[in-house]
Amino acid sequence: MTGISWIGMEEMKAYLRNLPPHMAKDADPVVEETVDMAADSLRQSYPIGDTGKLRRGIKTRITRTTSGVHGIVRSTAPHAHLWEFGTEDRQTRQGWGRGRMDDQYNNGLVAIGIRMRKRMNQKLVGVVEAAGFTVTGGV
Note the pLDDT tens digit of each residue in 40-83.
Answer: 999 998 888 889 999 999 999 999 887 788 999 999 999 888 77
Q: How far apart are alpha carbons 49 and 57 in whole angstroms?
A: 13
- Reported as a single tens digit per residue, the pLDDT across 86-115 is 767 777 888 887 766 555 456 788 889 999
Angstrom distances, CA of residue 38 to CA of 5, 58, 108, 114: 31, 10, 10, 10
* 68-75 and 90-91 beta bridge pairing: unpaired
42's enclosing H/E stretch is helix 21-45
pTM of the shown model: 0.74
DSSP assignment letter at 73: E
Q: How far apart are alpha carbons 101 and 66 in whole angstroms?
A: 43
